[in-house]
Structure 1
Amino acid sequence: WWWLLAHPRLTYHNSRLSSSLSSSESTFTHFITLIVTGATDGIGKAYAIELAKKGMNIVLISRTQEKLEKVAQEIRGQYEVETDIVRADFTDGRPIYDNIRKHLEGKEIGILVNNVGVVGSVPCLFKDAPEDDIWALLNVNSAAVPAMIKLVLPGMMARRKGAIVNISSMAGSFPLPLFQIYCGTKVGCFLFHRGTLTMHSQLLVTLSVPQATGLIVCRSGL
């Protein structure tokens, strides 16, 4: 069934989307290319591999060239799909998106998985938070979601089809001591998601909230 909404280790706020999806695996033939941010570890890598199995071409976006090449080689070696990589450090903010846009030119983007995220270097009181951490959290957790959607939304709207998965966190549901900036960015992700869903109901837009796992999602920067 539709892997995006039925992965057993993830829960979703937007269950109503399931009624608009076909139960047939042929649904995937309508989506040509998948983009995954934070694609070299954990959830992001899992999405890339699972949808490569369905025959989708893959665009992997992450910050470490060596890891990108390794994951791309793994996918190319197992599945007959086109696999491209884009090195981008989302902590750098706005300047990275022109390069991402150039890499996406000419591609029919069917699915975007906004997975990239960071927690911060150390748990601390806000008064002790390094300024670099503040900007990294805002650039990665807050800005990357709308910035990536902005890149792919015009094409999806023109084709009147597309799916967007925004990976969030349970930290957006309640405050965590010493992680106040991180929690704030995840609340923002949730509210932005709700607004996007409301204004673009013809697309499939879902919010994924991973439960507690041992995945590498905290300080690697993905």
Structure 2
Amino acid sequence: MDFLDKIPKPILAILVGAGFMAIAKPVVLYIQLLLSLFVLQGKNLRKYGPKGTWAVVTGASDGLGKEYATQLAQKGFNIVLVSRTESKLLALQSELETNNAGSAIKTKILAMDFSKNDDGDYAKLKALIDGLDVGILVNNVGQSHSIPVPFIQTPKNEMRDIITINCIGTLKVTQIVAPGMVQRKRGLILTMGSFGGLLPTPLLATYSGSKAFLQHWSTALGGELQGTGVDVELVISYLVTTAMSKIRKTSMFIPNPRKFVKSVLKNVGRSGGAQQMAHTSTPFWGHAIMQWWLENTLGLGSQLALNQNRTMHESIRKRAIRKRERDAKKA
């Protein structure tokens, strides 16, 4: 008490106030997180157009892209399906039109390999959507490393394809679709982000960097388009049971594509776990809570988080190499 008596009252008040804020801020942020995930409602997708409005989905033939197309069709949107394999697109096109025959859903398809960065393919996409009322764009196409790999050992073609598909492809498609949205004064641009873009990830350095690029690009684009009627949202995910993740078993923190996409479309406009970046959402509750604790305990870019991330991916790489060796012996 003698020590406290010697501190001038104004300074003591400042210190007490700072201590209170340090304790209260995490509590307030956690309450905001829970409200965003479980109480507050996302935007009604009808804001982006009546039934029959079009949605463009890239990487549409598998995994999350296929699920986005499926659920948006169920909600009354016509779908433009863009992906590499024409046979898969034709199969999905038939499935969507058959399952939604009662609502007369229309579909269009375009088979294009984003890794080729072919201007002719982008010209075909522009021609395909010309005159369509596109209300939603889902930038889902993406590629990661085949297995975790040190950057200096990364195959040149893999490095090139990751940047070309994840970054250049997303930018070019958005430049084609967004002007019409701005002209119509309504639209939603959803871009798939990743925990890899939040957490610098050793042995996935190129993929991690590509997703960090999309984070800043998407947030900046959202700032540019604010007030135009076009909403921009980067969707952050941890693992989902898709071919890219190579995980088949669901858990509390690893949903299947159906559950994940449902959470995205239900919570458009809500930040979820992404409370520190504008125009960003972590909508699946397990991912959101994980992100909040990482940000408020380890710190996303801390040496401790970096070391743990490296250890995890070194282990994944060793297991993947052993599996390749076993498969090679069987061949």
TM-score, normalization by structure 1: 0.84
Aligned twin of 2:188: 163
Structure 1 residues 105 and 27, CA gap change in structure 2 (3 angstroms): closer
Distance 1:20 1:121 in 2: 35
Residue 206 (1) aligns with residue 230 (2): no
Give the counterpart letter for 1:183 in structure 2. S
Residue 108 (1) aligns with residue 137 (2): no
Runs of 4 or more, structure 1, over 4 Å off, are: 24-28
Structure 1 residues 25 and 153, CA gap change in structure 2 (3 angstroms): closer
Please give the residue correspondences for 1:112-131 in structure 2 after superposition, counting only pairs within 5 Å.
Answer: 112-131=137-156
Instruction: Find 2:75's aligned residue among 43, 54, 67.
Output: 54
Residue 73 (1) aligns with residue 75 (2): no
Please give the residue correspondences for 1:137-148 in structure 2 after superposition, counting only pairs within 5 Å.
Answer: 137-148=162-173
Structure 1 residues 26 and 126, CA gap change in structure 2 (3 angstroms): closer
Please give the residue correspondences for 1:14-33 in structure 2 after superposition, counting only pairs within 5 Å.
Answer: 21-22=43-44, 28-29=49-50, 32-33=53-54
Distance 1:155 1:27 in 2: 12
Gaps of 5+ in 2: 1-32, 247-331
Alpha-carbon displacement from aligned partner over 1:68-115 (angstroms, at most 9, x marks no partner) = 111111001011211111001111114231121121122111100000
Q: How many Å apart are 1:218 and its aligned residue?
A: 4.9
Percent identical residues: 29
Instruction: Find 2:219's aligned residue among 169, 184, 194.
Output: 194
Give the counterpart letter for 2:112 in structure 1. A
Q: How many residues are paired up?
A: 204
Counting helix residues as a fraction of each chain, which structure ranks higher? 2
Distance 1:50 1:128 in 2: 40
RMSD (CA atoms): 2.4
Contact 2:49-2:186 at 8 Å conserved across structures: no
Distance 1:141 1:120 in 2: 12
Which stretch of structure 1 is more off in the superposition, 55-64 or 209-218? Answer: 209-218
Contact 1:28-1:54 at 8 Å conserved across structures: no
Structure 1 residues 192 and 25, CA gap change in structure 2 (3 angstroms): closer
Residue 58 of structure 1 aligns to a residue in which SS? strand
Gaps of 5+ in 1: 1-10
Structure 1 residues 157 and 30, CA gap change in structure 2 (3 angstroms): farther
Residue 141 of structure 2 aligns to a residue in which SS? coil
Residue 210 of structure 1 aligns to a residue in which SS? coil
Larger Rg: 2
Distance 2:74 2:42 in 1: 22
Contact 2:48-2:135 at 8 Å conserved across structures: no
Give the counterpart letter for 2:232 in structure 1. V
Alpha-carbon displacement from aligned partner over 1:143-164 (angstroms, at most 9, x marks no partner) = 1221111001111111101111
Residue 143 of structure 2 aligns to a residue in which SS? coil
Instruction: Find 2:115's aligned residue among 85, 91, 112.
Output: 91
Distance 2:46 2:132 in 1: 22
Structure 1 residues 153 and 122, CA gap change in structure 2 (3 angstroms): same
Distance 2:74 2:163 in 1: 33
Residue 216 (1) aligns with residue 238 (2): no
Aligned twin of 1:6: none
Q: How many Å apart are 1:122 and its aligned residue?
A: 3.4
Give the counterpart letter for 2:43 in structure 1. L
Residue 91 of structure 1 aligns to a residue in which SS? helix
Distance 1:59 1:27 in 2: 16
Q: How many Å apart are 1:31 and its aligned residue?
A: 6.8
Contact 2:239-2:245 at 8 Å conserved across structures: no
Q: How many Å apart are 1:207 and its aligned residue?
A: 1.1
Counting strand residues as a fraction of each chain, which structure ranks higher? 1
Q: How many Å apart are 1:216 and its aligned residue?
A: 1.9
Contact 1:118-1:140 at 8 Å conserved across structures: yes
Distance 1:30 1:162 in 2: 14
Contact 1:36-1:61 at 8 Å conserved across structures: yes
Distance 1:39 1:27 in 2: 20
Give the counterpart letter for 2:189 in structure 1. I
Tell which has more relative contact order, 1 or 2 (C-alpha 8 A, sep 6+): 1
Q: How many Å apart are 1:117 and its aligned residue?
A: 0.5
Residue 189 of structure 1 aligns to a residue in which SS? helix
